[in-house]
């Protein structure tokens, strides 16, 4: 009965489809270098972050005021405001910028994020358990001379509705960073990094 | 000869078995909402948010076709249960799934052409996709994460732009978007959204004070003059600058649900569709007393049922086209079967499988109202205290009856 209903050719077609469908189910992993450029879609990703950080740090350390300063001025990071339409953790950008500037030896940073913990540790040391000789001294912290801040913006443009099989999206990102002299309130340096990317997505899939 | 007739008989038996199997599979899919979804909805409306949340503790408890509904219902339940962080995490997954499901599945669409619409993955009505961002904005504002709320506001604007006819009646979400811009001092964006809202409502009075304030800051003095005529009390004595603003997200009643309807034509043609119908019941809602001495409370309300109906109407032409194509396809298949017994069986199966898709987001409220009132120094400060950081200018509350 089996032979009568399913001819040999039908059986082979069935077998081919089965093998083809199972072939795509194998889980795979692949390592990338953080320096590789990898984009899955038009959205912001780690490759964009690396490109933006490299460009802006290079600009900051090679232009005034930092290029002419050899006393490693103290800076404080006031974060990058996210004004895009995506949930982006901008602290990753500022952490990398701070790390690269520190590694360049052109500036030092006040640890704003750890201020509460520093205050807590100071209070502990003055709580009676720490010997006066090893206790840290109060009012010895360094005040920042410059403030680093910025804004990440994006503009997204979708292809207008028409008969087609793919949908194209154009995405623009711009990160503007600025260095403000805290004493004078003047912006001493500013630059921006831009990324424009087009991607297309099919309307129909399996 | 004998062998040939035996083979034909075996073939017919085999085809009948295949028909039974297909019928069983098709009928199993028709009109089936996951029992966990039903349990969660019932528990939610009986006031047991914990049980409702437990019924949806894992996505696998709901079929993959209803995964979006799982995220929508669970996100809502967590929001009204006060777990704004959990709700935000769930709605993020809902938004990601909506984007993922924009790609039309050829296999599911083809299968649904000869079976039932329940075979396809639920993509959400256009305005339901907007409400995902509405709840996200409320969650992030209640958590004091204004930057994330603005991200959601921008995503909501994309939905408005894509489906304007379906979504423009949702005034509440537009008011929230304007507030998200305003809270981060993006006053140009805020002004544009308040102005659009005033145009869509046809009456600028509920947002006239905001339009006057922002137009003044932007230097649009002719606009200040224009909108000041809509202020509730122009002669009110000028008071000192408010120290804060209280925003209440008031949700009342239950949104309508989809009800199936049929048109039966001889010989076995069944044409089915669904419409949004009210669930009845009276919801007086909690009265939110205004703060003492405040006369400038404003309200912006969305009739959720109205926008859901408008959203379904937007898909009407597409629904009718697909329904007609399905009826034609089923009729063609049935007519091409030579065996009268099998044909009857197939016709019965097709008839029973023709069940309209009544899946919808059932924990949505009937109305959503945004109440705003300024807080002045003095006795009102206590009344403005809320779950938010007390240092902030804005205090947020989400209330549901």
Burial class (CB in 10 A: 0-12, 13-18, 19+), B216: middle
> Does the beta-carbon distance from A205 to B104 stay under 8 Å?
yes
H/E stretch holding A185? none
Arithmetic mean of pLDDT, B126-141: 97
Query: B352 vs B278, which has greater pLDDT?
Result: B278
Give residue A14's pLDDT.
Answer: 53
Give the number of other Cβ atoms within 10 Å of residue B24's Cβ.
11
At A2, the pLDDT band (50, 70, 90 cuts) reads very low
Smallest Cα–Cα separation from B335: which of B326, B344, B323?
Answer: B344
The proportion of chain B whose per-residue pLDDT surpasses 70, expressed as a percent, equals 82
Q: For residue range B345-355, list pLDDT tens digits in order.
A: 778 878 887 88
> Do residues A100 and A57 make contact, with C-beta atoms less than 8 angstroms apart?
yes
| Closest chain B residue by Cα to residue A155 | B154
Name the residue with higher pLDDT: A190 or B64.
Answer: A190
**Which residues in chain A are closer than 8 Å to B147, comparing Cβ atoms?**
81-82
Mean pLDDT over each residue of chain B, to the nearest integer: 85
Identify the pLDDT of residue A167. 79
Report the alpha-carbon distance of residue B192 to residue B198 in Å, rounded: 10
Query: Nearest-CA residue of chain B relative to A80?
Result: B147
Interchain contact, B103 vs A201, CB within 8 Å: yes
Whether residue B20 is predicted with pLDDT greater than 70 in this model: the reply is: no
Q: Is A171 on the interface with B (CB under 8 A)?
A: no
Residue B64 in contact with residue B41, Cβ under 8 Å?
A: no
Among B10, B147, B184, select the one facing A4 at the smallest CB separation.
B10
State both tokens at B148: 């994330």
Give the pLDDT mean for B359-370: 95
A83 part of contact set with chain B, CB < 8 Å: yes
As a whole number, mean pLDDT of residues B297-320 equals: 92
Look at residue B373 in the predicted model and tell me its pLDDT: 87
- Pairwise CB contact (< 8 Å): B158 & A156: yes
Mean pLDDT computed over B323-332:
82
Residue B303 has a pLDDT of 95
3-state secondary structure of A65: coil
Segment B19-29 shows an average pLDDT of 62
Name every chain A residue with its beta carbon within 8 A of the beta carbon of B126: none
Cβ of A85 and B151 within 8 Å? Answer: yes
**Searching chain B, which residue's CA lies closest to the CA of residue A157?**
B158
CA angle A108/A109/A115 to nearest 5° reads 150
Q: What is the mean pLDDT of residues B22-51?
A: 80
Query: pLDDT by residue (tens digit) across B94-120?
Result: 999 999 998 777 777 777 777 777 888
Q: Are A111 and A147 in contact (CB under 8 A)?
A: no
Q: Please tell me which residue of chain A has the smallest CA distance to B6.
A: A1
**pLDDT number for residue B390:** 47
Nearest CA in chain A to B157: A85
Q: Do A81 and B106 touch (CB under 8 A)?
A: no
Quick check: A17 contacting B, CB < 8 Å?
A: no
Confidence (pLDDT) at A37: 77
Q: For A15-38, what is the mean pLDDT?
A: 66
B150 at A interface, C-beta within 8 A: yes
* pLDDT single digits (tens) A142-160: 999 999 999 999 988 877 7
Question: What pLDDT is attached to residue B30?
Answer: 57
pLDDT computed for residue A22 by the predictor: 52
Locate the chain A residue with the closest alpha carbon to B106. A206
pLDDT at residue B77, as a whole number: 97
A20/B110: higher pLDDT: B110
Query: Which one of B16, B89, B148, B154 makes the best mutation probe of the A interface by having the most chain A beta carbons within 10 Å?
Result: B154
pLDDT at A69 over 60: yes
Q: Flag whether pLDDT at B1 surpasses 50.
A: no
B287 confidence band (pLDDT: 50, 70, 90): low
Confidence of residue A6 (pLDDT cuts 50, 70, 90): very low
Res. B179: pLDDT tops 70? yes
Per-residue pLDDT at B120: 87
> B284 versus A134: which is more confidently predicted?
A134
User: Distance (Å, rounded) from C-alpha B138 to C-alpha B149?
Assistant: 8
CB contact under 8 A, A84 and B106: no
Q: What is the mean pLDDT of residues B149-155?
A: 96
Cβ-nearest to A204 among B14, B106, B150? B106
Residue A18 reports pLDDT greater than 60: no
Instruction: List all residues of chain A from 139 to 168 with a beta carbon under 8 Å from chain B.
Output: 156, 167
pLDDT at B334 over 60: yes
CA dihedral angle for residue B282, residue B283, residue B284, residue B288, rounded to 10 degrees = -170
A20 to chain B: which residues are within 8 Å by CB? none
Looking at the complex, report in whole angstroms how far the Cα of residue A203 sits from the nearest Cα belonging to chain B: 5
The pair phi, psi for residue B48, each rounded to 5°, is -95, 85
Inter-chain residue contact A85 with B14, CB threshold 8 Å: no
B93–chain A nearest CA distance, Å: 13
Put simply, whether the predicted model's pTM sits higher than 0.80 gets the answer: yes
Which of these ranges, A176-190, B164-178, B320-334, has the smallest mean pLDDT?
Answer: B320-334
As a whole number of Å, the end-to-end CA separation of chain B is 76
pLDDT at A166 over 90: no
In this model, does residue B384 exceed pLDDT 50?
no
Task: Of A48, A60, A148, A65, give the one whose Cα is nearest residue A104.
Answer: A60
Which residues of chain A does B154 touch, with a Cβ-Cβ cutoff of 8 Å? 84-85
pLDDT of A170-203, one tens digit each?
889 999 999 999 999 999 999 999 998 888 877 7
Contact B74, B59 (CB under 8 A): no
pLDDT at residue A131 tops 90? yes
The proportion of chain A whose per-residue pLDDT surpasses 70, expressed as a percent, equals 83
Cβ neighbourhood burial of B263 (10 Å; 0-12, 13-18, 19+): exposed
Q: What is the pLDDT of residue A183?
A: 97
């Amino acid at each position: 009965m089996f032979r009568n209903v399913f001819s040999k050719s039908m059986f082979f077609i069935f077998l081919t489809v089965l093998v083809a469908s199972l072939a795509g189910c194998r889980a795979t992993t692949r390592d990338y270098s953080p320096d590789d450029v990898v984009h899955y879609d038009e959205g912001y990703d780690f490759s964009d972050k690396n490109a933006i950080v490299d460009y802006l740090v290079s600009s900051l350390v090679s232009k005034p005021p930092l290029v002419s300063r050899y006393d490693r001025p103290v800076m404080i990071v006031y974060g990058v405001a996210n004004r895009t339409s995506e949930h982006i953790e901008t602290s990753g950008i500022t952490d990398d910028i701070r790390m690269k500037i520190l590694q360049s030896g052109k500036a030092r940073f006040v640890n704003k994020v750890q201020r509460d913990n520093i205050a807590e540790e100071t209070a502990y040391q003055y709580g009676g358990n720490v010997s006066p000789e090893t206790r840290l001294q109060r009012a010895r912290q360094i005040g920042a001379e410059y403030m680093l801040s910025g804004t990440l913006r994006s503009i997204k443009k979708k292809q207008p509705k028409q008969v087609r099989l793919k949908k194209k999206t154009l995405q623009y990102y711009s990160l503007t960073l600025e260095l403000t002299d805290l004493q004078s309130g003047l912006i001493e340096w500013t630059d921006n990094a831009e990324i424009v990317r087009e991607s297309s997505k099919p309307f129909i899939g399996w | 000869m004998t062998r040939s007739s035996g083979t034909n008989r075996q073939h017919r038996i085999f085809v009948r078995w295949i028909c039974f199997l297909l019928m069983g599979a098709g009928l199993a899919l028709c009109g089936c909402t996951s029992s966990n979804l039903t349990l969660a909805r019932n528990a939610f409306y009986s006031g047991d948010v914990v049980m409702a949340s437990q019924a949806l503790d894992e996505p696998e408890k709901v079929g993959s076709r209803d995964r979006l509904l799982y995220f929508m219902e669970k996100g809502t339940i967590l929001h009204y249960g006060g777990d704004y962080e959990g709700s935000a995490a769930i709605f993020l997954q809902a938004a990601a799934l909506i984007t993922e499901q924009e790609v039309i599945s050829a296999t599911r669409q083809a299968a649904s052409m000869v079976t039932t619409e329940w075979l396809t993955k639920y993509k959400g009505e256009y305005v339901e996709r907007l409400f995902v961002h509405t709840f996200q904005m409320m969650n992030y504002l209640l958590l004091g994460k204004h930057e994330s709320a603005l991200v959601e506001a921008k995503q909501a604007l994309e939905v408005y732009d894509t489906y304007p006819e379906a979504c423009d009646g949702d005034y509440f979400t537009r008011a929230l978007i304007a507030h998200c811009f305003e809270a981060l001092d993006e006053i140009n964006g805020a002004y544009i959204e308040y102005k659009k809202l005033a145009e869509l409502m046809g009456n600028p009075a509920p947002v006239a004070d905001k339009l006057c304030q922002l137009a003044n800051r932007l230097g649009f003095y002719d606009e200040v003059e224009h909108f000041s005529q809509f202020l509730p009390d122009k002669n009110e004595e000028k008071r000192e600058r408010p120290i804060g603003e209280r925003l209440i997200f008031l949700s009342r009643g239950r949104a309508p649900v989809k009800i199936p309807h049929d048109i039966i034509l001889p010989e076995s043609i069944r044409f089915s569709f669904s419409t949004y119908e009210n669930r009845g019941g009276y919801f007086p809602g909690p009265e939110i007393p205004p703060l003492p001495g405040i006369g400038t409370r404003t309200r912006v309300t969305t009739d959720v049922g109205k926008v859901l109906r408008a959203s379904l109407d937007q898909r009407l032409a597409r629904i009718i086209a697909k329904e007609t194509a399905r009826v034609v396809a089923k009729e063609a298949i049935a007519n091409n079967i030579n065996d009268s017994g099998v044909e009857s069986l197939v016709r019965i199966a097709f008839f029973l499988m023709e069940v309209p898709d009544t899946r919808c987001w059932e924990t949505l409220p009937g109305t959503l109202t945004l109440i705003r009132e300024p807080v002045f120094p003095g006795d009102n400060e206590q009344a403005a205290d809320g779950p938010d950081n007390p240092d902030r200018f804005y205090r947020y509350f989400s209330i549901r009856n």
